[in-house]
Amino acid sequence: MTAVIAVGTSSVAADNFEYNNERFADLQMLRYKVSGFERLPLRQKKLIYYLSEAALCGRDIMFDQNGAYNLRIRKTLETVYTDYKGERNSADFKALEVYLKRVWFSNGIHHHYGCDKFEPGFSQDFLRKAMKSVSTEKLPLAKGESVDDLCNTLFPVMFDPDVMPMRVNQKDGEDLVLTSAANFYGPGVTQAEAEAFYEAQKDTTDKEPVMYGLNSRLVKQDGVLVERKWVANGLYGEAIKKIVFWLEKARGVADTQAQKEVIDELVKFYTTGDLKTFDRYSILWLKDTESTVDFVNGFIESYGDPLGLKAGWEALVNFKDLEATGRAEKLSENAQWFEDHSPVDDQFKKKECKGISAKVITAAMLGGELYPATAIGINLPNSNWIRKQHGSKSVTIGNLTDAYNKAAHGNGFNDEFVVDQATKDLIDKYGDVCDDLHTDLHECLGHGSGRLVDGVGDDALKAHGSTIEEARADLFALYYLADPKLVELGLTPDIEAFKSNYYHYMMNGLMTQLVRIRPGKDVEEAHMRNRQLIARWAYEHGKADRVVEFVVNNGKTYVNVNDYEALRRLFGELLKEIQRIKSEGDYEAARQLVETYAVKVDPLLHKEVLARYEALDLAPYKGFINPVFRAVTDAKGEITDVTVDYSEKYADQMLRYSADYGFLPYVNE
């Protein structure tokens, strides 16, 4: 359950490192610095190197999970991109280059955030001719297939707006499985069939239910539903075997005995696909807080499945940022105080807050669903019973937050959208510290707070589960940002500081996050829905008292917060209700809230925001180019050092990944 705060505010000192990199479409590529890597001992450098290889080996899995044709489309476009002998400066070729860069970025042909399909800016005719101009051996042709056959297969998927228009469709009332392009369910499987299939597996008396359906594609074979598991000897096996190879290398240089056991259990899970093993792995992983180097590698988040069951493959390699960890630890030490004092009904509070570990980490490698667009905080595992019994592990990724902040410094965004100079000053003064703290509160305490009523299942809120869960964590953070306790703990400098975050949150949720939505589209992504839900709800419920209002100056709309204390009370009220909905599994109330506040966009305001944003000439989405780790070996092949290099260009990195880590077959059997 990751949290990404949309737009960074400001930053202080610039160093010589180039954070901003190339830009295309609505995307800005950044680099992140792996500070402290050089100072690690050789064994830990090797550990990071091996885990990084494991993090890259699953890349194709994510492409295939996002759509059945993604790998073939990627290979086709890459071949044209590298081998085309025609005019490379033509408008068609330039458009193909942008399209391919977007496909790389999104791990497929649908927008990574909005989920809608890209429109190619080049013609079918151009692509067909270009495909015929390159060597057929390098095209992903099926047995006996001609280039024209391949065109006939891929072109409707790429060019026809009515074919697979959405990766994840969440429109109320439609068959979400049939209408989503994500490749988690085989052809012809309906939502009702999939829901019934997993409903039948559920045992309501089981106090430790596995996450049903997490690691498989559900397909119809001779009219019968069966799961095709993602395991070493099953679907995606070619990639999973490579992941296991590198994990076993990592095991040999692991930080602790506990970490060896974590790796053993994960390898067992990749080998057997057994979900009980996955739960055991998750518990071992969350309890391993001693290791300096840590990693995520597996089927983790289910945002990509309209039913919220099946998990995308992702990876992250990191190590502890010991200096910055103190902040998050202070929150964790006081977890019970925060739980006890929250506005939530006592019956929905955790009697005993335990096992919330918190730390600031330095990311060293991003993979799968976390690359290139990524999260700045992580709180795992996702299984509710494990979280309840064992707690969770929570991290803030310090070097990524830092990179966002440095890259956003002085870009003019706040000058355009913040209502007045006093508020701008507030954001300049407190923005960074409060944004970091919001993330810490969201991850360390928010997701870990509250309890479900006995008998309420993990997925009771179905398609709205992710939005409600993110809202719960954000509201917990917002509510406590304004608490004198934070000043007492030395986490905020004074009792005014929270206002910077409140203002930014309302401005973002009511207005500026719309820069990420195309005209005429709804809000789809769970984190964005959550932010609009909270901001709209607070706006509407404080309307009579003018707590928050829209003001117009010189024809431009601004958000103005008149009463920060009242706004805090509103956040508290909504937190109470959202926790009740989550605890009781009140699907109807969740649906009502989401449909009323989180989805629809004011078209006039949207248009204005887009126009003002466009004039700033900034990219609404950001992602990261990974560093390159290289093993230095001696004559005997022993690794004597691992170096880190930041010079690789975006397209070079993507082409290298496709060549070196392209393990899955292009043609789905």
The residues binding Zn ion (CB under 5 A) are 1, 3, 470, 473
Nearer to Zn ion, 46 or 387 (CB): 387
Instruction: Tell me the two tokens of residue 53.
Output: 């290889």
Instruction: Tell me the two tokens of residue 433.
Output: 């510290």
Nearer to Zn ion, 283 or 526 (CB): 526
Q: How far is the CB of 26 from Zn ion (least distance, A)?
A: 23
* C-alpha span between 642 and 630 (Å, rounded): 5
Structure letter (DSSP) for residue 323: T
Nearer to Zn ion, 97 or 470 (CB): 470
* C-alpha span between 152 and 158 (Å, rounded): 11
Going from the C-alpha of 2 to that of each of 101, 111, 382, 495, the distances in angstroms are 24, 18, 11, 28
Residues 561 and 503 sit within 8 Å (Cβ to Cβ): yes
For 486-555, the three-class secondary structure string (H helix, E strand, C coil) is HHHCCCCCCCCCHHHHHHHHHHHHHCHHHHHCCCCCCCCCHHHHHHHHHHHHHHHHCCCCCCEEEEEECC
Q: How far is the CB of 525 from Zn ion (least distance, A)?
A: 12
Residues 455 and 204 sit within 8 Å (Cβ to Cβ): yes
Q: How far is the CB of 375 from Zn ion (least distance, A)?
A: 8
Nearer to Zn ion, 528 or 664 (CB): 528
Q: How far is the CB of 527 from Zn ion (least distance, A)?
A: 7
Nearer to Zn ion, 398 or 448 (CB): 448
Nearer to Zn ion, 64 or 469 (CB): 469
Nearer to Zn ion, 414 or 449 (CB): 449
Instruction: Tell me the two tokens of residue 276.
Output: 């009980």
* C-alpha span between 647 and 71 (Å, rounded): 27
* C-alpha span between 463 and 308 (Å, rounded): 6
Q: How far is the CB of 446 from Zn ion (least distance, A)?
A: 7
Instruction: Tell me the two tokens of residue 411.
Output: 């870009």
Instruction: Tell me the two tokens of residue 156.
Output: 């409707």
Residues 283 and 271 sit within 8 Å (Cβ to Cβ): no
Instruction: Tell me the two tokens of residue 190.
Output: 């309906």
- Give the angle 58-369-527 at the CA atoms, nearest 5°: 165
Cis peptide before 372 (omega within 30 of 0): yes
Which positions ≥6 away from 654 have C-beta within 8 Å?
101, 104
Q: How far is the CB of 198 from Zn ion (least distance, A)?
A: 24
Q: Buried b / exposed e across 74-84, counting CB within 10 Å, b at 16+?
A: bbbbbbbbeeb
3-state helix, strand, coil in the chain (%, to 5): 50, 15, 35
Instruction: Tell me the two tokens of residue 91.
Output: 């408008």
Q: How far is the CB of 8 from Zn ion (least distance, A)?
A: 18
Q: How far is the CB of 470 from Zn ion (least distance, A)?
A: 5
* C-alpha span between 532 and 145 (Å, rounded): 48
Nearer to Zn ion, 251 or 387 (CB): 387
Residue 70: Cβ within 10 Å count: 25
* C-alpha span between 248 and 264 (Å, rounded): 8
Q: How far is the CB of 307 from Zn ion (least distance, A)?
A: 19
Nearer to Zn ion, 117 or 387 (CB): 387
Nearer to Zn ion, 325 or 392 (CB): 392
Q: How far is the CB of 71 from Zn ion (least distance, A)?
A: 30
Q: How far is the CB of 530 from Zn ion (least distance, A)?
A: 8
Q: How far is the CB of 386 from Zn ion (least distance, A)?
A: 16
Nearer to Zn ion, 2 or 492 (CB): 2
Nearer to Zn ion, 74 or 464 (CB): 464
Q: Buried b / exposed e across 132-151, counting CB within 10 Å, b at 16+?
A: eebeeeebbbeeeeebeebb
* C-alpha span between 73 and 80 (Å, rounded): 11
Q: How far is the CB of 449 from Zn ion (least distance, A)?
A: 12
Q: How far is the CB of 481 from Zn ion (least distance, A)?
A: 16
Going from the C-alpha of 370 to that of each of 299, 316, 417, 601, 654, the distances in angstroms are 12, 7, 29, 28, 14
Nearer to Zn ion, 445 or 618 (CB): 445
Nearer to Zn ion, 473 or 548 (CB): 473
Position 51, amino acid: L
Structure letter (DSSP) for residue 58: T
DSSP letter for each residue of 175-207 = -TTTT--STTB-TT--HHHHHHHHHHH--TT-S
Nearer to Zn ion, 1 or 134 (CB): 1
Q: How far is the CB of 473 from Zn ion (least distance, A)?
A: 5
Nearer to Zn ion, 3 or 262 (CB): 3
Strand partners, 368: 314
Nearest to 593 by CA among 636, 550, 536: 536
Q: How far is the CB of 472 from Zn ion (least distance, A)?
A: 9
